[in-house]
Chains A and B, each alone.
Chain A
Amino acid sequence: MELGLVYALTGAALASLLAGIGSAIGVGLAGRAAAGAVAENPDLFSKVLILQLLPGTQGIYGLLVAFVTLSQTGLLGGNPVAMSNATGLMYLAACLPIAIVGLISAIHQGKTSVASIGVVIKKPDQFGKAMLFPAMVETYAILALLISILAIFAL
């Protein structure tokens, strides 16, 4: 029996798993800092909420890649296509960038968000700049997402 589909599904699972875990950690870190900020100054709620949400995107990118993989392999519609081991492994490889970069970048983005929330607490008018630091980290998740998606569409 060919294990191609198993590999492809593993890839999809890893993408949503690892990126999702990373985002959960990142959003959790930032959320704790945000709660502290709101305790001190409730007016900051909308600003710190945005900063908290920033590390959440990796999870969505992971979901995106997982979904595209599932739909490309027919697993989503209920008619899985037969595929060779090699093809399955290629899907797995294609999922790895967003899975791994998503995991690590989301955690670091969460830490950066915590620092940025510190900026907003001290200087609420510097929100625009504070928002930029976590967004810098996200760039690499976006690049990984791009490679994952391009690779899956090319298969």
Chain B
Amino acid sequence: MAVLQMQKIHICALKSNRKQILEELQRKGIVQVETDGQEDEIFQKMDTGNTRSAYEKRAQSAEAALKVLERFAPEKAGLLSSLEGKKVISAEEYYSQVKVQDRIVKTVNRILSLEKDLAEARAAQIRAEVTLESLVPWMSLDVPMNYKGSRTTAALIGTLPNQWTLDQVQKVIAQAQPELDAYTVEVLGADKDQTCIFAVCAKADVERLEDALRINGFARPSTLVAQTPASYAEEMEKARADHKKEEEVILEQLKALADQRAQIRFVADYYTMRAEKYGVLGGLLQSKHVFFVNGYIPAKHAEKCKTQLEEKYSCQVQIEEVPEDEAAPVLLKNNGFTAPVEGVVESYGLPGKGEVDPTGVMAFFYYFLFGLMLGDAGYGLIMVIGCAWALKKFPGMGDGMKKMLQMFFYCGISTAFWGVMFNSYFGDIIPIVADTFFGKTVTIPALWFVPLDDPMKLLLFSFLFGIIHLFAGLAIKGYMLLRDKQYMDFFCSVVLWYALLIGLILILLPTDIFASMAGTTIYFPAWLKAVSKWMAIGGAVGIVLMSARDNKNFALRIALGAYDLYGASSWLSDVLSYSRLLALGLATGVIASVINTMDAMLAGALGGGILAAIVFAIIFVVGHTLNLAINLLGAYVHTNRLQFVEFFGKFYEGGGKAFAPFSASKTKYIKFKEEN
């Protein structure tokens, strides 16, 4: 349980070694490079923006190509494949892949252009289909669509809005042009939107005929081709088939390229790394011949890194302590039991300057409280087995995921422990099954007691656990103050509070209020009562007098002190907040019993036997899965809350910046074997 000690590292080296040194640092991944150095006349930063964005663009193309492959040639992925993590590759593989990067980039570009072709082929098919559809009403026309007529006749081809019959068309023509009779008109096809007609008349009459039609909404069709509709349709049909074939060929090609996925992933990561390197390079101060790297390094790696660099390259490495006024980046170091909850601490905020890492103390309470809230042996066992299986099956999973599963593994152990203490095995499944299927009455004694029988007892214990948790938080505050040799602060804001709170608790214990809650009366000897009274009074007076001791104005000092004493009420609400341990614990157990009871009623109605057993099993699995999911979420959220609000509220602020080394770990798909 500690914040890893950091040191500052300064490297000054010749520019001729720049590439090797930066790549070595990136591979090691133990130095956080600072890029906020001030430029002057000699030392300037290099503009690497263009190179960097070029690499970023290549990485993006590779990602886009991967997406295309995923769309058209999806990879078979298991349900839990997200746990598999990054692929580990050796330095040898790395360099052999780097050599062929140009070929892979060509593949990437080919995939992207194939995607474009594919989109075009698909669009062309749709265009052909639309044209085909628009040709349907014209199919009975046996002259080309742009037919104008013969030497002496003129032809009108077009549409009228809405549905017309031949009679109606002739009637409107007769009405508009009564003396026009040397014409013939034909209805080619009609639907409710339009009617396609073909009309022929003597050349001299064409204007009159067209007028007659036009006032009724006649319009020439939009596609005028020099072909009969039937042969044009045939052409379109062929075009559609061709584009369809084209599409299939492209899809085949894309599928054939799918086996290059691994290489494309490699280049995507490779270019991301290169881009990051150029980002760092752009932040370094450089003169004509030398360059500087300034940064932070964990103290335990510092000396080794210095000797390695100085042996290999002509450079000067200097290690120094982090100055007092600088906040070093934070890297936590914990053991296997406590490290899993680092993620929880991180999500609140890493320890700020001068704060201790709360992970160790928190881990114990985290598992303890989580188990108490879920509190069922069956659910605990499922968590333990599930997490252990996943951890064993996917060793390459990401660090965050690994910690999370380890955390739930330990929480599962605690959950199972409390389940045994409270006699909860999937709620009350054992007596229910015994009663429903075997007609026997089985009772398992609880190791401690059954919360449903005596909720007040568990409520009081919840408060007790809460007080211990909160006092532990105050103790850590005390530890930090003692470590920093602030003895006066330690006395005023820790010792006095302990005195006041313990005094108040001791005063409360022998009272009737407590007796009515606990069901038993506690008798204290007179001297203990006196001690508790004076502890509380002493603590309270001390807090009023001392908490604002920096203030010169005495009246203000007392007023501020009194306000601080009012903070005791927040302790009350903090302790009451632990009643959720009881409420959530009961919720798990009672809902599990609801499921079991309904299950048993249904099985009872089916009258036992195989069918009843099957139905029972199905409802059991579905019901308890749901209950576990919901209560797991509840226990997780509320354990976090108790840690963040109640526990951290006593001593912890967070606000530290995470250690972000210049490394090759920001890749998405691959991980390099360490070769340090």
Contacts and interface: CB of A to CB of B under 8 A. Distances in A.
Interface of A: 50, 53-54, 56-57, 60-61, 63-64, 67-68, 71, 76, 125-129, 131-132, 135-136, 138-139, 142-143, 145-146, 149-150, 153
State the main secondary structure of chain B at its contact with A. Answer: helix
B639 to A, nearest CB: 10
Contacts of A63: 591, 594
Contacts of A68: 590
Interface of B: 344, 346-348, 452, 455-456, 459, 576-577, 579-580, 582-584, 586-587, 590-591, 594, 597, 630, 633-634, 637-638, 640-641, 644-645
Given A146-B582, A153-B452, 7 more contacts: A64-B587, A136-B641, A139-B580, A139-B641, A143-B576, A143-B579, A149-B583
A146 B459 CA distance: 9
A126 B654 CA distance: 13
A56 B587 CA distance: 13
Contacts of A127: 347
B645 A132 contact: yes
Contacts of B455: 149-150, 153
Given A149-B583, A150-B455, A132 B591 contact: no
B644 A132 contact: yes
A53 B587 contact: no
Contacts of B576: 143
B579 A60 contact: no
B584 A142 contact: yes
A82 to B, nearest CB: 23
B583 A53 contact: no
B579 A53 contact: no
B633 A53 contact: yes
Contacts of B587: 57, 60-61, 64, 145
A135 B597 contact: no
A64 B590 contact: yes
Given A60-B587, A64-B586, A131 B640 contact: yes
Nearest to B594: A67
Contact of B640 (A56, A128, A143, A149): A128
A76 B597 contact: yes
Contacts of B584: 142
A58 to B, nearest CB: 11
Contacts of A150: 455-456, 459
28 contacts: A50-B633, A56-B630, A60-B630, A61-B583, A63-B594, A64-B591, A64-B594, A67-B590, A67-B591, A67-B594, A68-B590, A125-B347, A128-B640, A131-B637, A132-B640, A132-B641, A132-B644, A136-B641, A136-B645, A138-B638, A143-B576, A146-B579, A146-B582, A146-B583, A149-B455, A149-B583, A149-B586, A150-B455
Contacts of A143: 576, 579
A67 to B, nearest CB: 5
A67 B587 CA distance: 11
A109 to B, nearest CB: 11
Given A131-B637, A132-B641, A146-B579, A57 B348 contact: no
A54 to B, nearest CB: 7
Q: Enumerate the 6 nearest inter-chain pairs by beta-carbon distance, A residue then B residue, closest first.
A: A128-B347, A135-B641, A142-B580, A142-B583, A146-B583, A145-B583
Given A60-B591, A153-B455, A135 B583 contact: no
B580 to A, nearest CB: 5
B586 to A, nearest CB: 6
B358 to A, nearest CB: 14
Contacts of B586: 64, 149
